Amino acid sequence: MASGYKIIVMVKQVPDTGSKAGLNPDGTIDRARAKRMLNPFDKFALQAALHTKKMYGGSVTAISMGPPPAVEILLEALEHGVDRGFLLSDRRLAASDTLATAYALYKTIQYVGDFDIIFCGLQTTDGDTAQVGPQLAERLNLPQVTYCEDFSVQNGEVHARRIIEGGHQTVIAKPPLLVTIANSYHPLEYKSFRGAWRVQQLQRKQEELAQYIKTVTLDDVGADPERCGLKGSPTIVAKTEKVGELGGSCSIHEGKAVDELVKEVITGCNVKEFLAAGKK
């Protein structure tokens, strides 16, 4: 393709915290039993990637690192219109912290090839650090726009609006760059019937699917295993502790007539103290 942008979107599979299945009694996640889903924040990144392709042409490659089932989210990305996907999957990646993750993803991006724009989600719902995007940008020596909520290209320059404390700012940069998309960006459009149908057809013919989704290992991408997984991670989770929900326990009022509910709350706490004096 002569014109348009080579776009990469980074997607992660996370445990579905909304469903109660797979939660250990101590509040941690049993990853083997938990339902899995595409990180909700990455849907906004996917939308930004697909919209950029639609507006300015080019191609979208989705990249994920995770255990084999993570291929599910690459299929989902394919249904939404992504052109191809790569899954980096290797046992030696277990227990990677953000630094080790960013290193492994950096090697994968180099393996995948040339790019103009990389979109990441703002953060994930499991690790929740928002660190992988900027760390990836550092490894790739790229300018970055984090907390981006609006994105367009004008005369070859990216114009992006990012959230800041007390407002927002608009920044301009030329590709290549890395952008992390906030959840105030446009929601992901529904997948087209055609997209879903195409992927369904592909799944019937594994050899053909392999042309679109490729699973690679650390050796394939030339990553140093010493810099991945537990060994390559400068941080460790030393201890976890269950805490009472923040702010103590909430008394829930439900399942009664509206006037009863309201009366219950008003008598249950000292709201009346704050009432203004009555009308004349």
Partner 1 sequence: MAEEQEKKQPEKPELKDMSAICPIGEVLVIAEHILGDLQPVTLELLGAGRILADKMGQPLLCLVMGHELGDMPQRLLDHGADRVYVADHPELKNYRTLPYRRVVCDFLESLPSQPHTCLLGSTTTGRDLAPRIAAHFDTGLTADTTELDIGPYEHTSKVDPSKIGLYPNCLYAIRPSFGESLKARILGPWKNPQMATTRPGVMVPLPRESRKGEIINIPVNLQETDHRLTVKEIVREVAKGVNLTEADVIVAGGYGLGTQDGFNMLQELAGCFENSAVGASRKVVDLGWIPYQNQVGQTGKTVRPKLYIACGISGAIQHRVGMSKSSLIIAINKDPDAPIFKFAHHGIVGDCYQIIPEMIKQFKQAQSTSGVKEVVGTH
Ligand X SMILES: Cc1cc2nc3c(=O)[nH]c(=O)nc-3n(C[C@H](O)[C@H](O)[C@H](O)COP(=O)(O)OP(=O)(O)OC[C@H]3O[C@@H](n4cnc5c(N)ncnc54)[C@H](O)[C@@H]3O)c2cc1C
**Cβ neighbours of residue 102 closer than 8 Å, sequence gap 6 or more:** 131, 132, 135, 136, 138, 139
**Which of 106, 115, 147, 185 forms a contact with ligand X (CB under 6 A)?**
147
Q: How far is the CB of 277 from ligand X (least distance, A)?
A: 30
Residue 183 binding ligand X, by CB under 6 A? yes
184-243 positions binding ligand X, by CB under 6 A: 235, 237
Residue 170 near residue 25, CB atoms below 8 Å = no
Q: How far is the CB of 104 from ligand X (least distance, A)?
A: 8
163-222 positions binding partner 1, by CB under 8 A: 163-174, 177, 184
Does 68 sit behind a cis peptide bond, omega within 30 degrees of 0 on the bond before it? no
Contact letters (x/-) for ligand X, 98-137, by CB under 6 A?
xx-x---x--------------xxxxx-xxxxxxxx----
Residue 34 binding ligand X, by CB under 6 A? no
Q: Which does 42 bind (CB under 5 to 8 A by kind): partner 1, ligand X, none?
A: ligand X
Number of residues located near ligand X, criterion CB under 6 A: 36
Burial 139-149 (b: 16+ CB within 10 A, else e): bbebebbbbbb
**Position with the least CB separation from ligand X:** 127
Q: Give the end-to-end CA distance of the chain in Å, rounded to a whole number.
A: 76
**Which of 12, 43, 80, 92 forms a contact with ligand X (CB under 6 A)?**
12
In the Cβ-directed half-sphere of 89, how many Cα atoms lie within 13 Å? 16
CA distance 133 to 181: 10
Cβ distance to ligand X smaller for residue 163 or 198? 163
Residue 110 binding partner 1, by CB under 8 A? no
CB atoms within 10 A of CB 70: 21
For 90, counting Cβ atoms within 10 Å of its Cβ (0-12 exposed, 13-18 middle, 19+ buried), the class is buried
44-103 positions binding partner 1, by CB under 8 A: 97-99, 102
Give the footprint of ligand X on this chain (CB under 6 A).
10-12, 39, 41-42, 45, 63-66, 96-99, 101, 105, 120-124, 126-133, 147, 163, 182-183, 235, 237
